[in-house]
Amino acid sequence: MDLLEAEGFVGLGEFAEAAVVGGDGVPTSWGRLRAILAHVEKHRAAAACAGRGCRVLHAARHDALIARKEGSRRDPRGERQMRIGFVGLGNMGGPMCRNMMKGVNHEVVVHDLNPEAVRACTEAGATAAESLAALAASCDLIFTSLPTPKAVEAVVDGIAPNIRPGTAMFDLSTNAPAVVKRLHAILAEKGVALLDAPVTGGVVRATDGTLVVMVGGEEAVFEQHRSILAAFSGQLVHVGPVGSASVAKLINNMLLLCNSAAAAEGLMIGAKAGIDMGKLTAIIQNGSGDSAGMRGLAARALKGEFKASFALDLAYKDLGLAVDLEAEYGVPGLLAPQALALLRMARGMGFGQLDTTAMLKVYESILGCEARL
């Protein structure tokens, strides 16, 4: 008789489901698990995957292939753990996911189109889901961190058929409030709570785990998962109903980008006037004209460093959404559309994949001079 069957498991799928806690609620002994795994490796040749100690198991309950690392987090008391899904492991999502894994004792399942981004998280202890459907079918809580509203919609389309009632989903993306509300309604019909939870603070604070996370949606769901959100944030704010956090985030980014545009314009006046950039930035950064936009220009653009921290293409998307909100609420757009025009010019000049501070290069190209420290 197969050792799995002798131990009461019907195939690898059932073993995977029961690996942490036995059917009687008692933790399965590690010696017993090791014996079963050794037998399976020897006689069934479990498929190997990239990464030390990593193998592929077929979880029968949701018919999905999941690559699991040995030594993944187990609750020492043998209690059933929550399984958390994280979709989107880019400049912001990757650090948030890894900080979450450090701060919680739950299994984390990840998905991204970039295999290198996935590997960075699996090496930190996450599990790689083969597909969105697999992730949705197995997770109790899902986070998304994606570049555009269309990307969020595509992910929801991918997970909606398999997502389980009672699942909570937090969209960490900078999204359009109207899109968030529409997706919230779609998922609510499936018994799923979607909350918008955009973040601010940039890549540095994402890495440090000190982001500001603003949340819109059911407050009870927010409170239920507060400790998990706190694992990658320095400040949590429940803004109001679903969509309200996305409005707050777009206002924040509108101010950043308008301030950046004004700072770039001012610095170019100084450059044309022959003022030393080091002295000028010292005056501004210690005076009333300072801003996050000004500090970003001084830290990157004035040094000729334009590797994207906040890509200009994404800034253009965010500011465009903010200008749309101005029109929706009847707010006269006197400043934001001008900053948006500057970003549009920068994209037309081929600077879209550079850092947002590359807006300075528009002025430099027009004026034929550089502003550098």
Tens digit of pLDDT for each residue in 312-362?
Answer: 999 999 999 999 999 999 999 999 999 999 999 999 999 999 999 999 999
What is the secondary structure of 101-168 as a DSSP string?
HHH--SEEEEE-S-HHHHHHHHTTT-EEESSHHHHHHH-SEEEE--SSHHHHHHHHHHHTTTPPTT-E
Q: Residues 116-135: what's their mean pLDDT?
A: 98
pLDDT value of residue 80? 52
Residue at token pair 């600077």 = 351
Q: Provide, rounded to the nearest whole percent, the portion of the chain with pLDDT above 90.
A: 78
The rounded distance, in Å, linking the Cα atoms of 211 and 229 is: 10
Q: Which pairing describes strands 141-144 and 168-171: parallel, antiparallel, or unpaired?
A: parallel
Instruction: Say whether 249 is catalytic.
Output: yes
Between CA 242 and CA 237 the distance in angstroms is 13
Per-residue confidence (pLDDT) for residue 77, from 0 to 100: 41
Inform me whether the pLDDT recorded for 21 exceeds 50.
no
Catalytic annotation, pick one of 249, 272, 307, 317: 249
Determine the 3-state secondary structure of 201 from DSSP.
Answer: coil
Helix orientation angle between 177-188 and 149-159, rounded to the nearest 10 degrees: 10
pTM for the model: 0.81
Share above pLDDT 70 across residues of the chain, in percent, rounded to a whole number: 79
For residues 35-46, give the mean pLDDT.
40
**For residues 88 and 146, is the Cβ–Cβ distance under 8 A?**
yes
Report the first-to-last Cα separation within the chain, whole angstroms.
75
Residue whose structure tokens are 């699942």: 167
> Quick check: 141 and 225 in contact, CB under 8 A?
yes
pLDDT at 11: 45
Residue 261 has pLDDT above 50, yes or no: yes
What three-state secondary structure class fits 213? Answer: strand
pLDDT at 126 exceeding the cut of 90: yes
Q: What is the pLDDT of residue 81?
A: 81
> Contact, 213 vs 197, CB < 8 A?
yes
H/E segment holding residue 45: none
Residue 344 burial (C-beta neighbours within 10 Å; 0-12, 13-18, 19+) = middle
Q: Give the span between the Cα atoms of 44 and 5, in whole angstroms.
A: 13
193 vs 54, which has greater pLDDT? 193
Cβ contacts of 322-329, under 8 Å, gap ≥ 24: 322/250, 322/251, 322/253, 322/254, 324/176, 325/177, 325/247, 325/250, 325/251
Pick the more confident residue, 61 or 208: 208
Question: Contact, 248 vs 232, CB < 8 A?
Answer: no
More confident position, 75 or 291: 291
- List, in order of start, the domains of the chain with CATH numbers: 3-61 (no CATH), 81-241 (3.40.50.720), 248-367 (1.10.1040.10)
| pLDDT, mean of residues 78-87 | 81
- Give the C-alpha separation, 96 to 207, whole Å: 7
Rounded CA gap, 297 and 146, in Å?
25
pLDDT digits (tens, 9 = 90+) for 127-169: 999 999 999 999 999 999 999 999 999 999 999 999 999 999 9
Q: What is the mean pLDDT of residues 263-267?
A: 99
pLDDT score recorded for residue 56:
33
pLDDT at 17: 42
